[in-house]
């Protein structure tokens, strides 16, 4: 079911890890951001849009992780955008004859049979450095950064002031770091600083997973994520309920322990050089 956020912006929450799909109304239809996760959920979302007389005009994937590049035939054959760095690894993946098996290996077992693969990953990369989503609707600013995944983009819907954060600024999940870059913690901190710089324009923030927050919540979540990352970098203990004894998702403590081992050790090695 679509939930109203502000005028012209709606969100649909999935049963998988409280994943959020975002709908932004435009002149000729809607911009559909990170739709998912199961066939039934996506079909239900398509029916909700049809009932409101809102065709899908375009899609956008905030980053190339599997749960953000799904699609359903009921949304129609429309442009599906992402940053150039988001689209590139998807093209490489889909060129592999065994790509379905590779994707299947990371799907959650309880949802795997219901996740559609037919239109997976068909994302068109926008020109490098693109600042706006090309569509007939309110201006949607692309805020590209390198936190969490290469080519990750948050979107700022400039009229109503909604920040669609992708897999960041969650009240459910602590920061998940990309192990590939040389300085993933600093990349993440840099992205948080960018969010800080646009905070005055934001009245609501929608994370990829978790609760929609108001303007005050944006600053709360930036501070919480920054504190987690600085503790990880400096060898401290994260005072963060998302990874404590009462963590909302049990396996988050395992991910946190892995990140402490992986990235804390990396920082110690850099300090010793």
pLDDT tens, N- to C-terminus, the chain (273 residues): 899 999 999 999 999 999 999 999 999 999 999 998 999 999 999 999 999 999 999 999 999 999 999 999 999 999 999 999 999 999 999 999 999 999 999 999 999 999 999 999 999 999 999 999 999 999 999 999 999 999 999 999 999 999 999 999 999 999 999 999 999 999 999 999 999 999 999 999 999 999 999 989 999 999 999 999 999 999 888 899 999 888 889 899 999 999 999 987 676 666 555
Q: How many CB atoms lie within 10 A of CB 44?
A: 16
Give the β-pairing of 162-164 and 140-145. Answer: unpaired
The whole domain housing 198 covers: 3-272
CA dihedral sign, ordered 96, 38, 135, 203: negative
Helix axes 215-234, 184-198, angle to 10 degrees: 160
Alpha-carbon distance of 93 to 81, in angstroms, equals 17
Tell me the backbone φ, ψ of residue 214, rounded to 5 degrees.
-80, -175
Q: Per the structure, how many domains does the chain have?
A: 1
- Give the predicted TM-score (pTM) of the model: 0.95
Alpha-carbon distance of 62 to 163, in angstroms, equals 12
Alpha-carbon distance of 167 to 108, in angstroms, equals 17
Residue 272: the pLDDT is 56
pLDDT digit string (tens) for 62-81?
Answer: 999 999 999 999 999 999 99
Alpha-carbon distance of 246 to 135, in angstroms, equals 43
Closest C-alpha to 34, from 70, 86, 76: 70
Residue 268: the pLDDT is 64
CATH value at residue 172: 3.60.15.10
Alpha-carbon distance of 232 to 256, in angstroms, equals 9
User: Alpha helix (H) ranges present in the chain?
Assistant: 39-51, 84-94, 99-104, 184-198, 215-234, 252-259, 265-272
Tokens, residue 93? 């993946």
């Amino acid at each position: 079911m679509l939930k109203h956020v502000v005028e012209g912006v709606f969100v649909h929450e999935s049963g998988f890890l409280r994943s959020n799909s975002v709908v932004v109304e435009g002149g000729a239809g809607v911009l559909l951001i990170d739709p998912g996760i199961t066939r039934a959920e996506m079909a239900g979302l398509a029916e909700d849009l049809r009932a409101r007389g809102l065709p899908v005009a375009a899609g956008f994937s905030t980053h190339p992780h599997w749960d953000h590049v799904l699609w359903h035939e009921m949304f129609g054959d429309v442009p599906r955008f992402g940053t150039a760095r988001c689209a590139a690894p998807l093209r490489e993946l889909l060129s592999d004859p065994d790509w379905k098996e590779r994707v299947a290996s990371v799907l959650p077992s309880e949802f795997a049979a219901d996740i559609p693969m037919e239109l997976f990953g068909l994302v068109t990369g926008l020109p490098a450095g693109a600042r706006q989503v090309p569509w007939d609707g309110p201006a949607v600013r692309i805020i590209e950064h390198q936190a969490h995944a290469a080519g990750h983009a948050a979107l700022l819907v400039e009229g109503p002031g909604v920040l669609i954060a992708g897999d960041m600024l969650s009240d459910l999940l602590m920061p998940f770091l990309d192990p590939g870059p040389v300085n993933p913690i600093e990349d993440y901190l840099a992205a948080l600083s960018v969010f800080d710089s646009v905070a005055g324009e934001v009245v609501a923030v929608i994370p990829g997973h978790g609760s929609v927050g108001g303007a005050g919540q944006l600053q709360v979540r930036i501070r919480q994520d920054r504190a987690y990352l600085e503790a990880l970098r400096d060898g401290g203990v994260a005072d963060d309920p998302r990874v404590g004894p009462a963590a909302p998702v049990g396996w988050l403590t395992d991910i946190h322990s892995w990140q402490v081992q992986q990235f804390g050790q990396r920082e110690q090695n850099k300090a010793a050089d």
